Amino acid sequence: MIFNYISMKFIWLCSFCLLSLTLNAKVNIHSSSLEGGFGNGNLNEHSNSDSLIFKYGKQAYLKKIWSLQYPREATMAEKQGTMIFKITITPEGSMKATLLTDLGTEINEAVTALIGSLGDQFLVQPEEYSIYQTIFFSLHHSYQDAFKSSVEGFKTDYDGMWLEPSRAEVMMRVRSVSGTVSGVSVRTSGQVSSAQAQAMISAAEASANRTTYNEPKMPLEGYQLKSYNLKMKQYEKYVAKGKTKKAYGAVSELILFNPFDIKLIQARRRMEKELGVDTYRSFDIPLTVALSEVK
């Protein structure tokens, strides 16, 4: 009887040890897969991390990004430039978003609404992680390809937490109005009935009020790069002459298209301190941090 008891005890202990080893092995495998694919929330070290970010896959996320419409008010005002925003997913599953560039009220609001629709796209991980999304808003012609090869500091590589950029483009064709005539008078001779006279007046008014539309010349491809280079020369001239206010305006126009040049961002921060303004402070500080992380 004692022998049977000891045997049962031994068998129970062996089973318990075997179960413990199995559970530990499963935990270690799970932990290794997280560390191998995610690694403390640092997506820079892992190029194939899409499966750990997107709940429904990257294509579903991109469809949301591609659905963004260029705001009509922004097209009429011919506003364009580079939008960058940051999304952070916490271990609790909440999403925090920050606009890192300012393209004006209309585009900012459109992008903010887009971000609000992305809340269900991301997976929750044990540690907080962030991604950066770039969207180029351009009118008439795209500019980013020309900037990549010609503009110092313009971002060319997107990997890790910097996702591939998207484009919002409008090939605008605005019609200008000319040749409108008003103040019609009709002279008659001989005997003309009142009905005939009225018909003549109506025909003359219709002809005189007919609007002539002239199609303006479209800007040539590369016009944004040309404007950027001219603005850069102006900026450098203003800086050399100590004209801080004008230099501040010029550098802000440069940053619209090239927010990747950390030297321009830092220069604007210095100018804002000198001028006593904080117009772009909430954008430039987190943008500087983001750019510094990828260096």
Query: Which pLDDT score is estimated for 20?
Result: 43
Asked whether residue 195 falls in the same domain as residue 227, the answer is no
| Domain identity same for 160 and 271 | no
Note whether 58 and 165 are same-domain residues.
yes
- 267: containing domain: 223-294
Question: Same domain, yes or no, for 247 and 267?
Answer: yes
**Does some domain include residue 42?**
no
Q: What is the pTM of this model?
A: 0.71
273 domain residue, yes or no: yes
Residues 140-155, mean pLDDT to the nearest whole number: 92
Q: Are residues 121 and 186 in the same domain?
A: no
pLDDT for the residue numbered 172: 53
Domain contains 27:
yes
Tell me whether residue 19 is in a domain. Answer: yes
Whether the CB-CB separation of 284 and 256 falls below 8 Å is answered with: no
262 and 207 inside one domain: no
Residue 23 in domain: yes
Is residue 59 located within the same domain as residue 154?
yes
Q: Are residues 131 and 150 in the same domain?
A: yes
What's the pLDDT tens digit per position in 234-261?
999 999 999 999 999 999 999 999 999 9
Confidence of residue 175 (pLDDT cuts 50, 70, 90): very low
In a domain, 45, yes or no: no
Indicate if the pLDDT at residue 44 is higher than 50. Answer: no
User: Which pair of structure tokens corresponds to residue 45?
Assistant: 């070290």
Higher pLDDT, 158 or 129: 129
Q: Determine the pLDDT at residue 170.
A: 80
Residue 209 has a pLDDT of 52
Q: Can you tell me the mean pLDDT for 257-286?
A: 97
84, pLDDT greater than 50: yes
Which of 291, 274, 295 has the alpha carbon at shortest distance from 283? Answer: 291
Residue with tokens 């097209």: 75
- Burial letters for 84-115: b for 16+ Cβ neighbours within 10 Å, e otherwise? bbbbebeeeeebebbbbbbbbebbbebbeebb
Is residue 133 assigned to a domain? Answer: yes
In a domain, 44, yes or no: no
Q: How would residue 269 be classed by pLDDT, with cut points 50, 70 and 90?
A: very high
- Total domains in the chain come to 4
State whether residue 228 is helix, strand or coil: helix
Determine the Cα–Cα distance for residues 286 and 279; give it in Å rounded to an integer. 14
Same domain, 193 and 152: no
Please check the confidence at residue 34 and state whether its pLDDT lies above 60.
no
pLDDT band at 265 (very low <50, low <70, confident <90, very high): very high
256 and 197 in a common domain? no
268: enclosing H helix or E strand: helix 262-275
